[in-house]
């Protein structure tokens, strides 16, 4: 499911780029965990019937894996994930990986199109980062 989580992160990054409201001073994308949780469980699962995760701990585990792989940085508040930060280099890597997967796997491409459409149709909670 890591490949689908990368797809969701890419979708949020692109949606934010369209709205020009997510770039911090160092060109990092900052996504609150509550926003990611809302996209995955409310928008994708409840509204569009696209189930990527059964439970939040499963999502948190995959975020920690992506962090260990160096794709994202996780900010914690106490023991809870607060924000996911993706620097400019890793944004580009995520876009490339998703593009490659879409080109070599037709099932992933169809799933990706459905996820991208759902994210694009949604209203994301955008917060400016300074």
For residue range 13-51, list pLDDT tens digits in order.
Answer: 888 765 555 455 577 888 999 999 999 999 999 999 999
The predicted structure's pLDDT at residue 24? 55
For residue range 54-77, list pLDDT tens digits in order.
Answer: 999 999 999 999 999 999 999 999
For residue range 85-112, list pLDDT tens digits in order.
Answer: 999 999 999 999 999 999 998 989 998 9
Domains in the chain, start-ordered, CATH in brackets? 2-121 (1.10.10)
Q: How far is CA 51 from each of CA 24, 58, 95, 121, rounded to the nearest angstrom? A: 31, 12, 22, 17
Do the beta carbons of residue 4 and residue 52 sit within 8 Å? yes
């Amino acid at each position: 499911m890591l490949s689908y989580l990368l797809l969701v992160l890419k979708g949020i990054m692109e949606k934010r780029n369209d709205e020009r409201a997510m770039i911090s001073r160092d060109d990092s994308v900052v996504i609150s965990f509550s926003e990611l949780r809302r996209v995955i469980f409310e928008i994708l699962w409840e509204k569009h019937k696209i189930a990527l995760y059964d439970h939040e701990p499963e999502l948190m585990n995959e975020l920690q894996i992506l962090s260990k792989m160096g794709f994202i940085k996780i900010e914690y508040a106490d023991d809870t994930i607060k924000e996911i930060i993706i620097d400019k280099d890793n944004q580009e890597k995520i876009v490339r990986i998703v593009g490659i997967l879409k080109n070599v796997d037709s099932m992933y491409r169809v799933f990706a199109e459905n996820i991208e459409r759902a994210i694009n149709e949604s209203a994301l909670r955008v917060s400016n980062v300074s």
